Structure 1
Amino acid sequence: MAPKAVTSPVPVAWYPSLSVLMLAIGLMLTASFFIYEATTSRRNRSLSKEIATGALASVFLGFGSLFLLLATGVYV
């Protein structure tokens, strides 16, 4: 029995669009995080909101970077 070839669950043609979309969302969340930190007083800050915003920004920037590398031909 011949082994099956490993294929991507996402079509290769979508890589550039996904990278731009995810990097844009990640950068907007990062900007939102920095604006929140700069404009909210120390007493009114919410740790859960900071962690949630930071984690979401990190996930979107991570996957956006991955798809950017894949779109440029760097297979990781």
Structure 2
Amino acid sequence: MGSKAAAISSPVPVAWYPTLAVFMLAIGLIVTASFFIYEATSSRRNRSLAKELTTGAIASLFLGFGSLFLLLASGVYV
């Protein structure tokens, strides 16, 4: 009855938030740029749906986590 609940802590050290935000957003923007370059330079017949979905998913993942760490680094706890 007298057991105390354990405090919730982040699996990532708080000091890493700004660095993770910068690197993940940079990688996400680079992958996004490569997606746009691929779309602009390939013809309609040569496009691959699998490549488009994979590139979009990777960019989305990095930009999403990069945005999360940016918010956490700036003090907005979500």
User: What TM-score range do you get, normalising by the shorter chain?
Assistant: over 0.9
Matched pairs, number = 76
**TM-score using structure 1 length:** 0.99
Task: Name the % identity.
Answer: 76
Structure 2 stretches lacking a partner, 5+ long: none
Query: Whole-Å Cα distance in 2 between the matches of residues 72 and 34 of structure 1?
Result: 29
Q: Which residue of 2 aligns with 1:26?
A: 28
Q: Which residue of 2 aligns with 1:38?
A: 40
RMSD: 0.3
SS at match of 2:76: coil
Rg larger in 1 or in 2? 2
**TM-score using structure 2 length:** 0.97
Structure 1 stretches lacking a partner, 5+ long: none
Alignment deviations for residues 18-51 of structure 1 (CA, whole Å, 9 cap, x no partner): 0000000000000000000000010000000000
Runs of 4 or more above 6 Å deviation: none
